[in-house]
Each structure stands twice: as structure tokens, then as C-alpha cells.
Amino acid sequence: MSLDGKVALITGSTSGIGLAIARALAAEGAKVMLNGFGDAGEIEAVRSELGALHDGADLSDPAAIAAMMARCAAELGGLDILVNNAGIQHVAPVDQFPPEKWDAILAINLSAAFHTIRLALPAMREKGWGRIINTASAHSLVASPNKSAYVAAKHGVAGLTKAVALEAARDGVTVNCISPGYVWTTLVENQIPDTMKARGLTREQVVNDVLLAAQPTKRFVTPEEVAAFAVFLCRDEAGSITGANLSMDGGWTAA
């Protein structure tokens, strides 16, 4: 297995894209720490399936992030692979956007990655090898209306990725973001009612005329496709890919 013994932390890995990445990294032999919220029984089932640890740190809290990182280092060893994937969404016009939602989206989707990176990088540098993968979004490259906080945070993730890639370029540490188009997960499912309300559309109209309208392939990206790409980025053959914003969006941002 190509990642035998590597230590990997995947934030927001109790569902959707993060869970698929955690499964794929574990299948390649990585020792995994899961993070995220959800049903305790379901989390325990995944944790034992993958032989992983789970830390329920709330990523909007820098102190909780620091405690998670310290626990990961103490129980699994210094991190080799960091996947910043946790994210939330809220859909509303900017003049009606709740300030507390803005703060939460910026904290979880952007600032959390700063905190995990600043704490993970020293151990990676010491080993002379590391992989940092940030789940950005097509919204790190283009905007959609009513998603001001998400678009701002994801553009921020793309910038953070580039800056850290340059800082770590000579240390054997690559830093990239994967930018999926629409992937069918709870994050997308949950925004359908608000988008219906904000734009006065039916559920089918939101799926076909709003979500898939942007995606020339007319199908959702799958979490497994994103996970396979993340595994590739962890291989030694991907050592020259750094500072890249890698689109997996069915052609969305080519248009």
C-alpha cells in the first residue's frame, strides 16, 4: 500500500467528501484521525471500520483545533498528510446575510485551515515530507449569487494554499487545493430549501437549473472521484504538484 504508516488527519470526515478521502487514505495504509460532527453510533462504526481515531473538535474554535492537533501527534505521531476539508454553507443575499453565519463560514472554511497548517508544518518539515490538501471549490475561482461568505472563504483557501506552497516548496511538503464542482453530499442537499426560497424555484429547478446548470457534464462529481485525486496527490509521483488549484468541476470553470 502506497501510504503505509503515514499519519493523516482529515477534517470534516464524518460525511461526504471528507469521509470518502478518509476511507481512501486508510485503504492505502494511512493511520487516520477523523474529525467532524454527527450521530455518535455512525461515527463509531466508521472509526472502527477504518481502525481510526476520531476527534470531535469544533473547528470554529482555535483552542479545540490545537487540542486535536496535539492529540493526533501524541496518539498517532507527527502528521504526514493534512486534509483541510470541513466546511459549511449558508445561502442568502449579502444584505440579508446573518453576520454570525459570515463569521462561522470564515472560521470553519478558512481560518481552521490556517490553524491546522501552522501547527502541522513543523513536523512535516522535520520529516522532509508532507502533503497538505485543502478542499476548496469551484467557488474559489468563480462566484455565484447569495454565497458571499462561502465564495470569499474559498477564494481565501486558494490564496492560503499558494502562499504556504511557496513557503514549504523546498521542504518536501506540497500544498494544493482540490476544487470540486457540485458533489452530491448533505452540504448541497441542505442548501436546496434556502435556494428555493431565495430564488423562488422548485426543488427540481434548483437541481437542474441552478446546480447542474453550471456543470457542463450535467452530473454531480462523486466523493470517490475527489478521494482518488487526493490519494494521487499524496504519492511521491505528485511531488512536483504544489501551489495548484486543481479543478474537478465537470468543466464548470472552463466555461
Residues in contact with ligand NAD by the rule CB under 6 A: 12-18, 35-38, 58-60, 85-88, 108-109, 135, 137, 180, 182-183, 185-188
Closest distance of CB 171 from ligand NAD, Å: 25
Closest distance of CB 51 from ligand NAD, Å: 19
The number of angstroms, rounded, from the C-alpha of 251 to the middle of its chain's C-alpha atoms is 20
Residues 218, 69: Cα–Cα separation, whole Å:
39
Does 150 qualify as catalytic in the annotation? yes
Residues 183, 135: Cα–Cα separation, whole Å:
12
Closest distance of CB 173 from ligand NAD, Å: 21
- C-alpha distances out from residue 188 to 11, 18, 116, 210, Å: 18, 14, 25, 12
Closest distance of CB 172 from ligand NAD, Å: 26
Burial of 56 by CB count in 10 Å (0-12 exposed, 13-18 middle, 19+ buried)? middle
Q: Among the options 150, 182, 229, 252, which is catalytic?
A: 150
Beta bridge partners of 247: 179
Report helix, strand or coil for 62. Answer: helix
| Cβ proximity to ligand NAD, 58 vs 167, nearer residue | 58
Task: Name the strand (E) or helix (H) holding 247.
Answer: strand 245-248
Closest distance of CB 230 from ligand NAD, Å: 11
Long-range CB pairs of 159-164 (<8 Å, 24+ gap) are: 160/110, 160/113, 160/114, 160/117, 160/134, 161/132, 161/134, 161/136, 161/243, 161/245, 162/243, 162/245, 164/117, 164/121, 164/132
Q: Which of 16, 235, 240, 35 is nearest to 137 (CA)?
A: 16
- What one-character-per-residue DSSP string does 155-179 give? HHHHHHHHHHHHHHTTTTEEEEEEE
Closest distance of CB 207 from ligand NAD, Å: 12
| Cβ proximity to ligand NAD, 108 vs 207, nearer residue | 108
Q: Mind telling me the catalytic residues?
A: 150
